[in-house]
Structure 1
Amino acid sequence: MAKIDLNDVDVVRLDERCYRQARSLLYHSYRHEPTFQYLLDAHRPGYKQRIRATIRELIRLHFERGETVLGVVNRHDQRVLGVAFVSDVGLKMDISRQFRWRLKMTLTAGFEGTRRFIQYYNDVQNSLPNKHHRVVSLIGIHPEFQKQGLGRKLMEAVHAISDSDSESIGLFLDTGNNRYLDFYQSLDYQRFTEIPVGDLKEYVLFRPNPNYIEEKAA
């Protein structure tokens, strides 16, 4: 595992110029995750190609929507060591109606993988309240640099954005890997609900916004 000094990294907003680095990093972050292994049928040949395609199309959709993308960047060589894709709006997105996304996903990830992913995504979205909130849709720290404080530094920057909006009730994210639960709970996340994904369990977590003003939001 490569060592990194937290004084040598910055958390900055990324644009599409960092697309390739973000795609590679998230591939390494998600390829062993139980949820993605189920959704994209890891036991069937071509799993690596399917997960690469899925990550690619999700990233493209986020950039097209102009959503916030934060990155932990090594200030010396500008290498992106971690990323977080944050939905800025309170409106939910039904990806099953994103025709171009669905077509590209079907051509690359296959019909069944696309169907499973849309079902999972919409189940998570539909579990969230109608009040204004933010969602961390994709997040990852490169495996070479994990367990060195980069994830916490990245999430603190995400929280700063979420907490600055007094009309937002807070921040949601989901994970199917229970080994991350202690980390998120240490950042004040609560279990909001659980969603079945095949034989797996997806945890939807919520961190309340300490600056939320209900009267203003109303």
Structure 2
Amino acid sequence: MEQTTMAEYRAVYLTAEDLRVAASIIYNAYHDDPFFIEALSTANKASYEQKLRAAIREELTELWQQEQPLIGWFNGERLIGVACVITHQVPLGESRYWHWRLKMVLGTGWSSTQALINKENSILESLPSNQYGILQFIALSPIEQGKGNGAKLIHAVLSWCDDQPELDGIGVFINNPKHSELFIREGFQHLSQLTIGTVDGEVLIYSSK
């Protein structure tokens, strides 16, 4: 996949060599996310950060191994944004593969792994059909925010979605009103309110058919 919107910007699938930088971008974007703060709860900040890095690393590795779309937003040769989608081709929620569960438990603990599974179950139950993918992560480098890159990255995801005949669309859980406004401007629609743990948010969907 390659999509060029301006001379220096392009959306392409990530390679294995990009995963380390992608994990760092996602980590910085989700460091203060209310869901992860609750799901990976610990009294020690360093422990929380270690668990968050482990959760992101294991999920990226799983998505890569299962050949799920990892879309990178590049400025020239520099990776500045990442969007990670998981589709119905991979078991989700309570159906997650045992090796994913084991690695996630080793990295984050049993209760945190269960919280991640419960989040997926809640989102899946909200979607119109099992032919919808889930946007697991979407993130930009901090210095690239406020420049319109978020909208362009979302547009790249939707363009990818439109090209997938087996998908009816894509869903995402949002717990930040500003992020919700951006997604809706770019073509998503509000589906339902959703509380995961004690974190209130909403499920937005983009329907490609």
Q: CA deviation at 1:133?
A: 2.6
Task: Name the counterpart of 2:11.
Answer: 11
The whole-number CA distance in structure 2 between the counterparts of 1:103 and 1:118 is 13
The aligned residue for residue 158 of structure 1 is: 157
Q: State the one-letter code of the partner of 2:18.
A: C
Give unmatched runs, 5+ long, in structure 2.
1-5
Q: Name the % identity.
A: 28
Determine if contact 1:70/1:84 at 8 Å carries over to the other structure.
yes
Whole-Å separation in 1 of the counterparts to 2:91 and 2:192: 17
Structure 1 residues 183 and 55 mapped into 2: Cα distance closer, same or farther (>3 Å)?
same
Deviation of residue 89 (structure 1)? 4.3
Change (3 A) 1:88 1:108: closer
Tell me, yes or no, if the aligned pair for 2:93 and 2:118 is still in contact at 8 Å. no
Could you list the per-position Cα deviations for residues 26-46 of structure 1 after superposition, in whole angstroms to 9, with x for gaps in the alignment?
Answer: 000101111111111154441
Deviation track 1:72-114 (CA, whole Å, cap 9, x = no partner) reads 1121xx2210001123546652355321111111112112211
Structure 1 residues without counterparts, runs of 5 or longer: 1-5, 213-218
Q: Say which is worse superposed, 158-167 or 33-42, in terms of deviation.
A: 158-167
Partner of 1:48: 49
Deviation readout 1:160-193 (Å, 9 max, x if unpaired): 1212345533221112222211111111211112
Aligned CA distance change for structure 1 residues 94 and 121 (closer, same or farther; 3 Å): closer
TM-score by length of 2: 0.88
Q: What is the distance in 1 between the residues matched to 2:9 and 2:94?
A: 34
Q: What is the aligned-residue RMSD (CA, Å)?
A: 2.0
> Does the aligned pair in 1 maintain the 2:85–2:135 contact within 8 Å?
yes
TM-score by length of structure 1 reads 0.85
